[in-house]
A and B are shown apart, each in its own frame.
Chain A
Amino acid sequence: MNLKAKDISERRETAHTNGVARLMAPLRLDSGQMLHDVDIAYCTYGQLNARRSNAVLICHALTMDQYVASPNPTTGRPGWWPTLVGPGQTLDPQRFFIISSNILGGCMGSTGPSSINPATGRPYGLSFPVITIADMVRAQAMLVSQLGVDTLFTVVGGSMGGMQALEWAATYPERMFSCVMLATAARHSAQNIAFHEVGRQAIMADPDWRGGEYASQSVRPEKGLSVARMAAHITYLSETALQRKFGRELQRDGLSWGFDADFQVESYLRHQGSTFVDRFDANSYLYITRAMDYFDLAQRFDGKLSLAFQKSAGVRFCVLSFSSDWLYPTPESRNIVRALNAAGAPASFVEIDSDKGHDAFLLDEPVMRDVLAGFLEAAAEKRGV
């Protein structure tokens, strides 16, 4: 094991580690390229038990990071999944050894386009190879091994994290006891790809993008990345949620008769955009959205999704969708469940009634809490954790 533990701190009697692991072998990518000297940044919470049976992997969504239950050092904001992970929650570090890593291609310490290319000594930029969800998962699997874990008690992910969980189930079913997927899909739809393309074009249209070489020219395509985030953020909310939150409320008394942010929703989106650029790298955004667009789990199984789960019959699955999620709507989850059923895997499915849109999976939805608590508690009992 080659771990550069940057910081080890104790929080509320719970061991909490931030670290960066150098993968022990080069990573073979779906594109055919080899990636050398791969670093994966991660956080762990809690302790691995003597039987090594209590390890949990949390897979993060597009713009999230490894700080699932501890403050993000860049933004100072608390962990991003407080309703599921943390002391007193379903995934309590007192009981589970929780691993959360920044994805390959990310910008929170894992190797990505803003990392230094060991061959040139300069940031990769667009010379970074195009990566896939499967590449991210292969890197995670190596990290998990390097942390001394053979079999995970569960792999949990929402949105793009759910795609990673699906990929885990297809590739490493023998290394997991259960799997939880929320608000996700087994492939990106035309609409999903279309929205991502808008975001990428916004970034690449920014003169400060400089063909992806902005890092070496000491500029950042903040305008473009900000617009990308604004467009994407709309897809994370339902129309109802947006209307309830803002309606046609104005920022000030009266209209400006110009193009300032008259409406509160405009101001909100601008704020979302401008805070995003402080914590995210534009090239990472290009690479990660590309990986999501390329995701189609059934593709390498002759278009038959059930074949992806042929060896997953021993894994307990829990699939959740949200009624107002139009980014990855319920039929996408049902498609996954149907394939799991066809493969004979024990699969549970619930559509959570929520008007909060795609982001509902990160919010406090009591039914979701109950469902996840019930599923994971029963699985933990079976597993003897």
Chain B
Amino acid sequence: MAHLLPPSQREDFREILRLVRPGARVLDVGCGTGELLQMLRDEKGVDGRGIEISAEGVSACLARGLPVMQGDADRDLAEFPPRSFDYAVLSQTLQAVRAPKQVLSNLLQLAERAIVSFPNFGHWRVRLMLLARGRMPDTKALPVQWYETSNIHLCTLKDFTVLCDELDLRIEAAAALSAGQPARSIDCHSPIENWRAESALFLLSRKAAPGPGATSAQKSDLFD
């Protein structure tokens, strides 16, 4: 699990820290033991909240003084009212949720912007392993055997940009991440980056402000 990696290996944390506005309201979905939320609070004065699936993770977050709810991205994003946050962060988790499209859409109901990172299945090493060995890839970004991995919805950089188009999302920034190297700003539509990026991080916002549609009306009713 990505959350078990030491903070030094979480290049995306550094990049997220760089992207987030000081003093912002941030929801970290799948916040693990709370390293990122703590960094955001201590270094950026962020008002942070978290959602974490394991009781142990929540417990560790509480010990850091972070408000965190037990829950998961698929089911429990509706526990917060629409537009509660400036940023919703989903770090290395999108590929492990049951309904990535719905989760992405929900994130941008909750927050003005979403920061999403995931392993790029289009990376050259992944392609090479499939092509040359005919086996599921075993790489630094995807180190777990296919039968044990929690990654059930892997995608490439290109797949992700297509989904963003479908959801009418604006890609404000994109960066390539590799273990042990600083994040590198990229043009996410460039085919070469789909080969090069081991892992990718996106800053997203809605192109159009959501109207008072049925979905948002239902959601606000939850909080009456």
Contacts and interface: CB of A to CB of B under 8 A. Distances in A.
Nearest to A351: B70
Interface string B115-134: 00000000000000000000
Given A306-B224, A337-B79, A350-B55, A378 B67 contact: no
Interface hub of A337, A339, A379 (most chain B Cβ within 10 A): A337
Most buried by B among A338, A348, A371, A374: A348
Contacts of B147: none
A347 B69 contact: yes
Interface residues of B, number: 24
A318 B68 CA distance: 9
A377 interface: yes
Nearest to B60: A374
Contact of B59 (A304, A344, A374): A374
A338 B223 CA distance: 7
A346 B224 contact: no
A60 B80 CA distance: 30
Nearest to A344: B84
Interface string A372-385: 01110111011000
Interface string A317-339: 11000000000000000100111
Interface residues of A, number: 32
A378 B69 contact: no
A348 B68 contact: yes
A190 B194 CA distance: 57
A381 B58 CA distance: 18
A374 B59 CA distance: 7
A349 B70 contact: yes
A347 B64 contact: no
A353 interface: yes
A221 to B, nearest CB: 43
B224 A367 contact: no
A297 to B, nearest CB: 14
A341 B79 contact: yes
Contact of B224 (A304, A370, A375, A381): A304
A154 B203 CA distance: 39
Nearest to A367: B55
B49 interface: yes
A240 B65 CA distance: 35
B166 to A, nearest CB: 29
Contact of B65 (A351, A367, A381): A381
A381 B62 CA distance: 12
Contacts of B79: 334, 337-338, 341
A339 B55 contact: no
Contacts of B61: 348, 374
B63 interface: yes
A303 interface: yes
A347 B69 CA distance: 7
Contacts of B81: 341-342
Contact of A378 (B56, B58, B64): B64
Contacts of B224: 303-304, 306
B55 A379 contact: no
Interface of B is mostly: mixed
A16 interface: no
A254 to B, nearest CB: 45
B62 A318 contact: yes
A352 B67 contact: no
B70 A378 contact: no
Interface in B43-77: 49, 55-56, 58-71
B67 A346 contact: yes
Given A347-B67, A348-B69, A341 B80 contact: yes
A316 interface: yes
Contacts of A317: 67
Nearest to B67: A346
Contact of A371 (B49, B55, B69): B55
Given A306-B224, A337-B69, A348 B58 contact: yes
Given A341-B80, A342-B223, A346-B49, A375 B62 contact: yes
Contact of B84 (A303, A341, A346): A341
A334 to B, nearest CB: 7
B223 A306 contact: yes
Nearest to A330: B70
Interface of A: 303-304, 306, 316-318, 334, 337-339, 341-342, 344, 346-353, 367, 370-371, 373-375, 377-379, 381-382
6 contacts: A338-B79, A344-B84, A346-B67, A374-B62, A378-B65, A378-B66
Interface of B: 49, 55-56, 58-71, 79-81, 84, 222-224
Given A348-B62, A378-B64, 7 more contacts: A318-B62, A348-B61, A348-B69, A350-B58, A351-B55, A370-B63, A373-B63
Which 10 pairs from chain A and chain B are nearest by CB? A374-B63, A378-B65, A346-B67, A342-B223, A374-B62, A375-B62, A349-B69, A370-B59, A371-B59, A350-B70
